Amino acid sequence: MITPKQRLGSLVVALALLLGACSQQASVDPGAADISIDSSSAQIVTSTPASSEATCTFSEEPAFVVGDDEEDDNQFFTSIRGTGRLSDGSIAVVDRTSAEVRIFDASGRHLRSMGQRGEGPGEFTDPFILWITAGDTLWVGNTRPWSYTVFTSQGQFVRRIRLDPVYSDPSRAGGVLENEYTVNVRWEGLGILTPEFDVPDTAIVEIHNPDGKLANILARIPHRTFGKVSDSPESIAFSPLFEARAVVDALGSTIVLAHGSKPEVQVLDDEFNLRMIVRWSEADREVTREDVRAYREDYRERYSSSDWDQNDDDRISPERPVADVFPAMSSVKIGRDGRIWVRQYDRPREDRGWLAFDAEGKFFCHMAQTPGSVWEFGADYVLLLHRSELGVQTVRMHRLTLPS
């Protein structure tokens, strides 16, 4: 079992350094040194969501759907990697297999497409994710190596931005800021080299300037530990069951940093000053034998009809380490309106849903788990990627109703 001390020890050191650093203003220069984060004016906002009944709800029926019309070739998706809403209400979707970005109007009618597979201007080798920034500019993360291809909302190719130094793999998290600096995350894989699950990887949060050059290192956050539970040559490395991980997002003029083990989110501005720390009360939830048994039973039921292999055995192996307590969160997303949405971590067969905090860090509402993976929160909508039992992928937009 992973003890709380092991789980939090190096995290406390890393974040203590992060929070303790203080300067008049973060410097962004080509030296690629660690940023000295200005924490002098940071506010700590604490709340108790359990004492509030404020609830956000999403419409039962989606207000927008694409991907369910079999007669429209433009709605045939095989690997949706991102979606976003433009200021006129149209929806952009990037499909990895076709290597296209397709834009649909609010009724679901296809308007235009951009990109194709290739290595020329406006082409993709492997489109991996999509962001929409100020002025409805579309940024498509493309791999490998990791780069950004930029289009106008009308489909005109603007430029390609290659990271320097090169990212051989996709950025693990982050996003594009309105000032065209990008926040990219790579893992420093120390733990994966040791089979004992005792050395955590580190999530290196890096800032690249509008030309793609590394400007600074924003943070180093302990990530997950890895190891193998079998000597089989087919085995791959896994992290302990229910282990917390680093969480990073960036959008507009905001960057958020967190670690799933703590009910806390650090909020930075686009000059890399620590603006706010959002904290909420939550008791530790111990992992029980019943939780582990439920996970294994659910995993067998879900994947027993597929091609079971050694890695499936390893995932439910009694030799796979298990965390002592559940993480507080699994992800954080910055809404297009500045709200901060925290996906609470579920124990097996649990659905705790989301917590929302306003732009000032105050608790805003509870929201149930959505019927699909959230790609974007807006002021009054949520964009989802939904997958049917038959594997059909659709993009859906549901209306949000806010607390009165």
Task: List, for residues 55-108, the tens digit of each pLDDT value.
Answer: 999 999 999 999 999 889 999 999 999 999 999 999 999 999 999 999 999 999
Domains defined for the chain, CATH in brackets = 4-401 (2.120.10.30)
SS3 184: strand
Q: 404 is written with which tokens? A: 């009165």
The structure's pTM equals 0.90
Please, what is the average pLDDT of the chain? Answer: 89
Cβ neighbors of 211 (< 8 A, separation 6 or more) are 161
pLDDT band per the 50, 70, 90 thresholds, residue 28: very low
CA dist., res. 36 & res. 49, Å (int): 32
Task: Pick the range with the lowest mean pLDDT from 43-52, 157-166, 196-205.
Answer: 196-205
Element (H, E) at 365: strand 363-367
CA max distance for the chain: 59
Q: Is cis: bond before 396, omega within 30 of 0?
A: no
Of 325, 324, 313, residue with least CA distance to 229: 313
What mean pLDDT do residues 299-316 have?
91
Contacts of 190 (CB under 8 A, 6+ apart): 199, 200, 201, 202
Q: Are 58 and 382 in contact (CB under 8 A)?
A: yes
Q: In this predicted structure, what is the pLDDT of residue 13?
A: 34
The pLDDT assigned to 220 comes to 96
Average pLDDT score over residue span 284-306:
94
Average pLDDT over residues 250-273: 97
> What pLDDT is recorded for position 359?
96
State how far the Cα of 233 lies from the Cα of 241, in Å rounded to an integer: 21
Dist. CA 156–CA 154, nearest whole Å? 6
Mapping DSSP onto H, E and C, the string for 37-70 reads: CCCCCCEEEEECHHHCCCECEECCCCCEEECCCC
